Amino acid sequence: MSVRVLYFASLREAFGTAHETVDLPASVETVGQLRDWLVGQGRAELVTAKNLRCAVNQDMARLTTPIHSGDEVAFFPPVTGG
């Protein structure tokens, strides 16, 4: 399964990229499993980011939300501005 992963705010800065396309093992079926797999690939900030938010295909999601091939999954910390 292949998904496009988007990173926003401090995650984009930490990883040096705004997005990547990843090919996942069959065992990755949810947003949480994707996050854990990405952490195993060196994206540790996904675990340490406080109040991490996620979306699948531009709809807010939970770590238990299923993902499918071709989905777009976004990770972003809460952001404030003024």
CATH number of the domain residue 41 falls in: 3.10.20.30
The H or E element containing residue 37 is helix 31-40
Asked if the structure places residue 79 within a domain, the reply is no
The answer to whether position 76 is within a domain reads no
Q: Give which of 24, 26, 25 is closest to 73, Cα–Cα.
A: 24
Partnered with residue 55 across adjacent β-strands are: 60, 74
Q: Is residue 78 part of a domain?
A: no
**Where do the DSSP E strands lie in 1-82?**
2-7, 19-23, 53-56, 59-61, 72-76
Contact 15, 81 (CB under 8 A): no
Residue 41 lies in a domain: yes
pLDDT, tens digit only, all 82 positions of the chain: 999 999 999 999 999 999 999 999 999 999 999 999 999 999 999 988 888 999 999 999 999 999 999 999 999 987 755 5
Q: Can you give the residue range of the structural domain that contains 36?
A: 2-68
What domain count does the chain have? 1
CB 73 within 8 A of CB 38: no
